[in-house]
Amino acid sequence: MDHHWVAKAWLSDMGLPQYSQAFHNHLVDGRLLNSLTRRDLERHLNITKKFHQVSLLLGIELLHLLNFDKEALQARRVQCEHQNVDPLVWTSHRVMKWIKDIDLKEFAESLLSSGVHGAVMVLDPTFNTDAMATALGIPSNKHMVRRHLVEEMKNLIGPARTDAKQDYEHLSLGTPPTPLRQNSLGRPPSSTGRHTDDEGSLRRRAVKPPTGFSPKARNGRDLSCHSSYGSLPREGRDQTPPRAEGSPIHGYTSIEVTNV
């Protein structure tokens, strides 16, 4: 996954092509994607919109699920191009096609450059019908249209989330990580409950995991309560020498996952 593919193809698939130049300038390739945190996205790539940060991190999580095998990813996308199945791997463009397929064509263009893609729809439990309706620009007084969207999303996303949990169990990854709840589209940031560990990317819900699931080790490291993997070293972080504007980002290791 070279930086040209990431900046052009991958960001377009995520529905965030507006950040292509920044990713290209910083030479963000597959290995660097594997290490990006929320802090990196905001400080180095100037991605300040919280939902866009979540969108990119969930896109990276999908790559983790497929072991960063873009051929496997493309093969799954080809299989569901003309069938409304396996939404986890859908690109933003495929989501727009689905919106047209369910007779909401007039709202589909609202998803351009929005960051709504399949991994967001499946892996973020806070991305519900209201969030999708907000992204589509469906007025709140169009009750029948929203009810129609509820049924279509239930039929599509419900089974996909079940499948995703099974994938995590099969790969011994524990439970699917979830983004910060206040960062999901349609949910305004809370003035309380600020989080100080802004280096982190995704958070796991502090709730009892589904029956049959338990946090397991990824690459030999426990992902249970209060653990993390691949975070920036906490000691000496502030002593890092300043980096020249436009130069590549180096020295990061992996996406940090912590419990709420």
Provide CATH code, domain 3-172.
Answer: 1.10.150.50
What one-letter code names the amino acid at 185?
A: L
Within 8 A by CB and 6+ apart from 225, the residues are 215, 259
pTM of the model: 0.67
Q: Which two tokens stand for residue 123?
A: 């892996």
**Stretches in the chain below the pLDDT threshold 50:** 180-245, 247, 249-260
The residues with which 178 forms a beta bridge, in sequence order, are: 203
pLDDT one-digit tens code per residue, 220-260: 333 232 233 233 333 344 444 444 445 454 444 444 444 44
Question: What is the pLDDT, as a whole number, of residue 126?
Answer: 87
DSSP state of 199: T
